[in-house]
Structure 1
Amino acid sequence: MHPDSTFRWEDRAAMRDLVRELGFGTLFAATPDGPRVVHLPVVWLDETTLALHVSRGNGITKHLDGATGLFVAQGPDGYISPDWYDLGNEQVPTWNYVAVELEGRMRRMDQAGLVAQLDQLSAEQEARLAPKPAWTRAKMTPSVFEQMTRGIVGFTLEVQGWRGTRKLGQNKPEAARLSAAEGVEAAGRRGIAYWMRNPGMRS
């Protein structure tokens, strides 16, 4: 994460909220075949346990059980032009962003755990689509669902390391930060502009 402590984010509840809101990220692991990465959706099982699933045919899958995993959730981001600060010519471009890194031990789930993870994932995401009637696997023929789940493997990540960054221009005067927020929003990056205007918010 960013070495400047000004941008350090240590509110674990807020980091959990961001991961839950995004619902998607990137899992990294060192394997005998070299470093590997997979992009996937996640859900929280409790305050320190993420659940996820990976295609059985993915090269990373056979190495995950017992490995150390690093999950990264990337929030809003955007390029910041020095012109937006209105602080003169001795400024440089930068990139503002919000990100969470979660490191911990990976454990393979049994079939019941995998199915529960899939049910929770679809329930959380379908709830966001209301008033659309929620999809559930009850709409599927059970044998078809069982056949499809054979192609994926479920894992948990027991989070032991939490690292968060909110780089939002906190090292600039408030007027400069808010001016830059106007500029980045005009450039189409409304998400990071909102965070820049509210650097103290939990999530």
Structure 2
Amino acid sequence: MRQNPSFALADIAEMRRVIARNPWATIMSAAEDGLVASHYVVMLDEDRDDLTVVGHVGRPDDAIHGMGERELLVVFQGPHGYVSPGWYDAETPSVPTWNYTAVHLAGVPEVLSTEENLRVLDRLVEAFESRMPDPRGMWERPNDEAFVRRLEAGTVGFRLTPTRVVAKRKLSQNKDAATVENVIAHLEGDGAYANPALAAEMRRAQDARVRPNA
């Protein structure tokens, strides 16, 4: 990802927030016969306070990515969307753009043991199933231990402590405050490109600019 100092995201807490709220990640690597990509849920390692993440891939994706042997690039993407030049000052030359937030983590992952992978899989189920009115845990009936362990055997868990991090938050920071407010208003509206989630991210970034030490 091409970096621009105006849009660089360097705050670890903010990167962790983006990852936690947008766990559906793209996992990429350079295989012998070309680039490969997979899509899986990847979460922050709950035992760490840095950008270490944990996840799993299904077999044979582990072989495709050379899991544990070569570098992976894991990409998380926050809210994103179209910004019309019509939302800017009518007298200022402008073109459309796309606002977004993205975090790229790269490094050689550690392959998890069976028991570590089971814990990660259990946490994954709990993280999402807990929101249901009648949650079904991974170890709850009608699942039994044999079923769960067969499930685990079809996956390869990993932990990635990134050695390279590139994060970008392009949310109209290069525009004046009045223009940013107008863009947010249109995103919060009911037009063709309404996008409340992106508006909320822009509001968060704008508030941080106004109150940088808050």
TM-score scaled to structure 2, two decimals? Answer: 0.86
Alpha-carbon distance change, 85 to 27 in structure 1, aligned in 2, over 3 angstroms: same
173, 176, 201: which is aligned to 1:195?
Answer: 201
State the partner residue of 2:8: 8
State the partner residue of 2:76: 73
Q: Which runs of 5 or more structure 2 residues have no equivalent in the other structure? A: 209-214
Q: What number of residue pairs does the alignment pair up? A: 200
Could you tell me which amino acid in structure 1 is paired with residue 204 of structure 2? N
Instruction: Answer whether contact 2:80 2:100 (CA < 8 A) is retained.
Output: yes
Residue 33 of structure 1, CA deviation: 2.2
Once superposed, what is the RMSD of the aligned Cα atoms?
1.9
State the partner residue of 1:113: 116
Residue 10 of structure 1, CA deviation: 0.2
Alpha-carbon distance change, 28 to 62 in structure 1, aligned in 2, over 3 angstroms: closer
- Distance of 1:98 and 1:62 partners within structure 2: 25
Question: SS in structure 2 opposite 1:143?
Answer: helix
More strand by share: 1
Runs of 4+ displaced beyond 6 Å: none
Q: State whether structure 2 residue 150 is matched by structure 1 residue 168.
A: no
Instruction: Answer whether contact 1:55 1:152 (CA < 8 A) is retained.
Output: yes
- Distance of 1:83 and 1:62 partners within structure 2: 44
After superposition, what is the alpha-carbon deviation per residue over 1:97-127, rounded to whole angstroms, capped at 9, x for unaligned? 0111111121211101110110111122223
Alpha-carbon distance change, 171 to 62 in structure 1, aligned in 2, over 3 angstroms: closer
Amino-acid identity (%): 29
Residue 58 of structure 1, CA deviation: 2.7
Residue 60 of structure 1, CA deviation: 5.0
- Distance of 1:48 and 1:191 partners within structure 2: 23
64, 67, 72: which is aligned to 2:67?
Answer: 64
Could you tell me which amino acid in structure 1 is paired with residue 199 of structure 2? A
Could you tell me which amino acid in structure 1 is paired with residue 104 of structure 2? E
State the partner residue of 2:29: 29
State the partner residue of 2:53: 50
Residue 42 of structure 1, CA deviation: 1.2
- Distance of 1:60 and 1:81 partners within structure 2: 43
Residue 201 of structure 1, CA deviation: 5.9
After superposition, what is the alpha-carbon deviation per residue over 1:108-166, rounded to whole angstroms, capped at 9, x for unaligned? 11101110110111122223x15x24321221111111112221111111112221111
Instruction: Answer whether contact 1:12 1:162 (CA < 8 A) is retained.
Output: no
